[in-house]
Amino acid sequence: MNPFKRLTASLLIASTALLGMPLVSQAGIVSSEQSFSAQTQTDARDKLNALLTREDVRAGLAARGLSAELAQDRVKAMTDEEVAALSGRLDQAPAGGDILSVLFTVFIVLLVTDILGLTKVYPFTRSIR
């Protein structure tokens, strides 16, 4: 038996033997409200941090004399209630259209309809009909 087969067989035997060992775990009762609240707070804080990493937001902050790092530090220092309130105000603000995502969506829809044979927009597609 060559060394590679011997090593592989040894690893498989060890891993199979370890699969049968019981694992220790601890569980506690967590209410739905606690779970949902913690997830919502994390999502709101992540949303604000993602917003601060966008280039257009960074440019707007710089135009107003505020660095993005300072803004991120301020978001970290906010309480959960302040983060939720700010995130809620951002959700209610009117959205500026992201033209690239709209164009990409239109491209995909037209591509799928071309492939299905419903339209003939792109010459590089072949219909499945």
Residue 44 domain flag: yes
Are 79 and 114 members of one domain?
Answer: no
Are 36 and 91 members of one domain?
Answer: yes
Are 105 and 87 members of one domain?
Answer: no
Q: If you compute the radius of gyration of the chain from its CA atoms, what whole number of angstroms results?
A: 27
Are 54 and 82 members of one domain?
Answer: yes
Residue 16 domain flag: no
Q: What pTM, to 2 d.p., does this model score?
A: 0.43
Are 77 and 36 members of one domain?
Answer: yes
Range of the domain at 112: 97-129
Are 90 and 104 members of one domain?
Answer: no
DSSP readout, the chain? --HHHHHHHHHHHHHHHHHTSPPP-------HHHHHHHHHHHHHHHHHHHHHTSHHHHHHHHHTT--HHHHHHHHHHS-HHHHHHHHHHHHHSPPPP-HHHHHHHHHHHHHHHHHHTS----TT-----
Tens-place pLDDT, residues 31-61: 877 777 777 778 888 888 888 888 888 888 7
The confidence score (pLDDT) of residue 91 equals 72
